[in-house]
Structure 1
């Protein structure tokens, strides 16, 4: 299905804006991160152990709008010698930075998900994580969970594996 971006006129946004502000207040949507969570993000980045295997040679790409900064999935597809395909699928390894029970984890459990409104985005994790060190931005090596699926010529899975890896998307 083709996706079309929604663009709102200033007039429409002026009419809808107050209702969105009221809705976020009614739902108690947190628009900022507490200082303790931002400090925990800084600490997590400083203390991260990036001992993932190196898969930065694979030319991954993401499928996101051009202005997106929170890129959490990437893929690469290649033909296998003798027929079939190898599919690599990478998901940003948030657990490299967000430890169970940490202030980052507690905040994420409270927020549940990133919320997208017509006028703003309310992220699950602080931007230092979601739009930087955990985001699979082009040209930046990032930790990921990397699935490798081998498919035969008919598309049947013949082998699968998953590992932690450093990946680098190209686009």
Structure 2
């Protein structure tokens, strides 16, 4: 059975909580609910537990996580990053669209992490780094109907066509 992860860093709060909980699904739901109630002030409801369960992600395999030391190779093609470059004056709408996609693809998407950045030197220029376990998993994610809809709607919000770069990770370090 695949272990699950609940990570408060994925859901920014006023207290900037950084707690990550991993384990078997029922354990994580129980612990995350207790944390949400005692630390974040949520009400103890069945809906809270359903929401937590829906937002859980699969834990990265230990072998993949182990290859992140200084100078360590990323593994045998085990990591893949898609870099998406785009320009838009509608950043808030893009953020809302990404949130909708994340909610719609919970439990289905194969992306393990995404970082959206704004170019400090070029206003309205953005770069999104989306991490996957492999190229094949990235392509499986791209084939999701929700991802195809995201891409179509994203193009409507962009000034020009986004540029996609498919990148094999050859070195990753935790600094």
TM-score by length of 1: 0.24
> Larger helix proportion, structure 1 or 2?
2
